Amino acid sequence: MAAISSLRLANVGGLMLILSVVLTGCNDNNKATQAQTTKMSPGITMESTGANSHPVNYTEDREACADYAPLRKPLFGDLHVHTALSFDAVAGRINTMPEDAYNFARGKPIAFFPQNEQGEPIGSTQIDRPLDFLSVTDHSEYLGERALCINPDSSEYDGEFCQKYREIEFRGTLMLATVIGQKDPKRIEMLCGADGQRCIGAAKGPWKRTIEAAEAAYDRSDACSFTSFIGYEYTGSWGQSNYHRNVIFRNDNVTQLPISYVEAPLDSMLWDQLDAQCDDSNNCDYITIPHNTNMSNGKLLTPYVGQEQTRENKIRYAETRLTREPIMEIFQHKGASECVNGLSSVLGAADELCDIEQVRILGKTSQARNFHLEGADLVLHKPEDAPTTECAKDELGGLGMFAGGCISRNDFLRTALLSGMEEQQEIGLNPVKMGVIASTDGHTGTPGDVAENAWRGAVTGEMTILKRLKPGTLPSGIKGNPGGLAGVWAVENSRDAIFDAMQRRETFGTSGPRISPRFFGGWAIDANSCNRPDMVEHGYASGVPMGGDLPSAPSKGKSPAFILAAQSDAGDHATPLQQLQIIKGWIDAGGKQHYKVHTVAGSADNGAGVDTSTGQRYGDGHASLCAVFEDQEFDPEMPSYYYLRAVENPSPRWSLLDCLKLDEVDRPAVCQETSKHVIQEMAWSSPIWYTPQ
């Protein structure tokens, strides 16, 4: 890929216009037309109507937004954050509540570490830029159990179980987690009673507080300054694998209590029970969002788990999932879930960007530990020490929550999408047809707190530099990161507009920066789209946006083309973009699965890097990039998908910046492993699919 020959920035009418002359040519078999002038500014209202320009169909009483944008604008938020209502916020907590998290997201300071001798927070923290939207998603499974153990007025507060739960944070977390680690979960009798009703009843108060906090934070005026969603996390971990998903409701019509893993130990059961309380008859709607598939040992994205795999069951499952689970979380503080290198079951060259913030790598030895509860005593088993292997076909492993067990192709978006297309060839429906977002999964009520240079940990065991730099139990400590942001292209900042965007998969995720990616595909895309002042309108009129489906080819021999564009984060938060890539996955005529990464704008060889002795970046990059890619290897008989990855120049990881804050003699050994402390932040679009007719 040739380098940019000139780059000029001009501030015209409040828009940053990136004017560049770029030489073309990417590889022998495909062509990309690069360049040159893009106008992509968050918050700009477009008056033309190439996209659906009908007013939002509100499902609630509210004022219409004044800043309606027919061609949609990027909104940034967090759909996965925890507060002190969650069971894994025990000792050392700062008692951040849902209302505090919403205040933080809107730019207000909240109490934070450090603490005084009484355990009260004496510090404060504040986000650098407010979010557009947020859902607080506390764990549903133990809302009642935690309330019983932390409320001094509860009947169980002074009991043996609750005393031990409060004593040591990690032990208390695992004491309750023994329930969700079971395939047939039962509430803890000594705490909840024989019928579990003591804990179920105690959950009503925290759920009411969750709802009220979201309602109080929501801006229903025409300013549409902030959107809150009522939500919770469904937290299954059978076999110590991640089987977690967040449940997000469209409006304030929600279930009486969250449907948890205890009531519904399979995804299909969760949807059935939610549907029983939440449907058109009561103006209730919801979606579920799987997360940390990288730690699921094949269980989370693999369809039909726990079901008899008849054709009828498969079709019903696929129909439900297509409606209820349109997106997944590709990045958060426990690592990336885009891709993994070394799978033998999928053909494709190694991709070094897959290893960034990756907590599980094939062939690497890990120590995974299991545990169980005896009365109020936690029993930890001897760690298992074995190299991480690839799961056999149809194998569901275990211990992924502790970085153990096998890695499945269905643990990562890139290869799980191929499994979905494979199923579609059999039943006519794709049960793994997912767009993407990202979020933080922070446990201190600080949503969107993603800045590498200001991060103070996602869980309470990371609240000092030396603690953060230690190996963590679970992917925390040195393996953890600040998490990412959810992005949507919506016509306005309201619940219905954002929810609609998630349902149609016009979403993207970032590893933290507010990169704005746009992605269109179609059969009539103009090769000169990047120079068109109506590029976005043309993308909608001549193709489909991210999350969409390509129609049948209009003529034999026709290849699809794609517009890829991205604008870097702005102002003090800007790291230049390095490159745009399009990732293609397909299934060949023999049933073999493939992926290929094409760099279509910019270059990895641009000379940019990080001085690890100072943490300073060096080298040039791009404020924006744009290209048109035509897939000249396209075969109309092969199902395929495409998605955009926008990659920044190298930048210092939080761990390098923390190491540099310490005197050299006080730095732990990990600080000397400088290659681990340089990252490349990125953004991912939802895919565009092609299905042969």
Please write down the HEC assignment for all residues of 383-416.
Answer: CEEEECCECCCCCCCCCHHHCCCCECHHHCHHHH
How far is 260 from 138, CA to CA, in rounded Å? Answer: 11
- The 8 Å CB, 24+ separation contacts for 498-502 are 498/75, 498/77, 498/133, 498/227, 498/229, 499/229, 499/248, 499/250, 499/285, 499/287, 500/56, 501/72, 502/248, 502/287, 502/326, 502/327, 502/435, 502/437
Predicted confidence at residue 471, as pLDDT, reads 87
* pLDDT tens digits along 156-208: 999 999 999 998 888 888 999 999 999 999 999 999 999 999 999 999 999 99
462: pLDDT strictly greater than 80: yes
Q: Is residue 689 within a helix (H) or strand (E), and if so which, with residue range?
A: strand 688-690
* Among 46-60, 248-262, 628-642, the least confident range: 46-60
Predicted confidence at residue 512, as pLDDT, reads 97
* Among 1-10, 443-452, 559-568, 670-679, the least confident range: 1-10
Using the 3D structure, point to which of 469, 486, 503 is the last residue of a domain: 486
* Average confidence (pLDDT) over 70-84: 97
Contacts of 692 (CB under 8 A, 6+ apart): 636, 637, 638, 639
Predicted confidence at residue 254, as pLDDT, reads 98
Determine, yes or no, domain membership for 71.
no
Evaluate whether 86 touches 455 at the Cβ level (below 8 Å).
no
More confident residue, 508 or 4: 508
Question: Structurally, how many domains does the chain consist of?
Answer: 2
Work out the pLDDT band at 443, boundaries 50, 70, 90: very high
Determine, yes or no, domain membership for 349.
yes
Determine, yes or no, domain membership for 377.
yes
Co-location of 305 and 366 in the same domain = yes
Predicted confidence at residue 40, as pLDDT, reads 34
Determine, yes or no, domain membership for 42.
no
Nearest to 135 by CA among 258, 292, 248, 284: 248
- The boundaries of the domain holding residue 252 are 77-486
Predicted confidence at residue 89, as pLDDT, reads 80
Co-location of 86 and 149 in the same domain = yes
Predicted confidence at residue 54, as pLDDT, reads 54
Strands 243-249 and 227-236: antiparallel
Co-location of 373 and 444 in the same domain = yes
Predicted confidence at residue 11, as pLDDT, reads 28
Counting Cα atoms < 13 Å in the Cβ hemisphere of 96 gives 34
Predicted confidence at residue 90, as pLDDT, reads 65
* Average confidence (pLDDT) over 238-254: 97
314: pLDDT strictly greater than 80: yes
Predicted confidence at residue 29, as pLDDT, reads 44
Work out the pLDDT band at 363, boundaries 50, 70, 90: confident
Co-location of 477 and 527 in the same domain = no
Work out the pLDDT band at 367, boundaries 50, 70, 90: low
Q: Tell me what the pLDDT averaged over the chain comes to.
A: 90
What's at 408, amino acid-wise?
Answer: S
Q: What is the DSSP string of 54-100?
A: SPP--SS--PPPTT--TT-EEEEEES-B--TTSTT--TT-----HHH
What's at 81, amino acid-wise?
Answer: V
More confident residue, 291 or 22: 291
Co-location of 167 and 282 in the same domain = yes
Co-location of 457 and 339 in the same domain = yes
Co-location of 137 and 187 in the same domain = yes
* Average confidence (pLDDT) over 627-638: 97
Co-location of 536 and 479 in the same domain = no
Please, what's the b/e burial string for 178-209 (b: 16 or more CB within 10 A of its CB; e: otherwise)? Answer: bbbbbeebebbeebbeeebebbbebbeebbeb
* Average confidence (pLDDT) over 13-34: 35
Is it true that the peptide bond before 114 is cis, omega within 30 degrees of 0?
yes
Nearest to 333 by CA among 498, 158, 484, 161: 484
* Among 62-66, 370-374, 623-627, 658-662, the least confident range: 370-374
Indicate the DSSP class of residue 357.
Answer: T
345: pLDDT strictly greater than 70: yes
Evaluate whether 492 touches 56 at the Cβ level (below 8 Å).
yes
Q: Which two tokens stand for residue 230?
A: 């009522």
26: pLDDT strictly greater than 60: no
531: pLDDT strictly greater than 70: yes
Residue 265, classed as helix, strand or coil, is coil
How far is 525 from 594, CA to CA, in rounded Å? Answer: 25
How far is 540 from 529, CA to CA, in rounded Å? Answer: 12
Evaluate whether 46 touches 536 at the Cβ level (below 8 Å).
yes
* pLDDT tens digits along 395-418: 999 999 888 899 999 999 999 999
* Among 26-30, 287-291, 328-332, 424-428, the least confident range: 26-30
Q: At what angle do helices 143-150 and 204-217 cross, to 10 degrees?
A: 100
% the chain with pLDDT above 90: 80
Co-location of 358 and 431 in the same domain = yes
* Average confidence (pLDDT) over 374-394: 85
Co-location of 300 and 379 in the same domain = yes
* Average confidence (pLDDT) over 280-284: 96
Co-location of 446 and 579 in the same domain = no
Predicted confidence at residue 480, as pLDDT, reads 94
* Among 20-34, 57-71, 428-442, the least confident range: 20-34
Distance (Å) of CA 294 to CA 171, 341, 474, 584:
24, 12, 13, 20
Determine, yes or no, domain membership for 223.
yes
More confident residue, 113 or 643: 643
Determine, yes or no, domain membership for 124.
yes
Using the 3D structure, point to which of 463, 486, 509 is the last residue of a domain: 486
Determine, yes or no, domain membership for 8.
yes
pTM beyond cutoff 0.75: yes
Co-location of 91 and 17 in the same domain = no
Determine, yes or no, domain membership for 513.
no
% the chain with pLDDT above 70: 91
